[in-house]
Amino acid sequence: MIIKLGRGLAALSLALTSLAASGAAHAAAAEPIVLPLTDAVATLPLATEARDGYSRDAFKHWNAGTNPTDGCTTRAEVLIAEAVTAPTVGARCALTGGTWFSY
């Protein structure tokens, strides 16, 4: 089964395609199925999140953001922009609170 999701979702589309292909590696090619993103994500297998090996220190490449004088890195700017509930922005762009939605 191949799931086409549209622009900006190539990685998820590739992951879904790989999952589908692994289950039917020798089956005949099927016609692509087009699903809304929420339905496509619902087809992914669920597992407990593993953060083994993750270290924020490994990502030292965050730059000074669009305004180098406000202290916000690109990471902080993205967190602020994508927040469902905005975080409080403190001195040197220290973020506290806030909520985000993620599949």
Distance CA 45, CA 34 (A): 18
Mean pLDDT in the chain?
A: 78
Beta strands in 1-103 (DSSP E): 3-4, 33-34, 88-89, 95-96
- Residue 100, pLDDT score: 95
pLDDT band at 25 (very low <50, low <70, confident <90, very high): low
For residue 3, list its beta bridge partners. 33
- Cβ-count burial 38-56 (b if 16+ within 10 Å, e if not): eebeeeeeeeeeeeeeeee
The per-residue pLDDT for range 47-95, each reduced to its tens digit, is: 888 888 888 788 777 688 888 888 898 889 999 999 999 999 999 999 9
Domains in the chain: boundaries: 3-42, 56-96
Provide the whole-model pTM. 0.47
- Residue 20, pLDDT score: 54
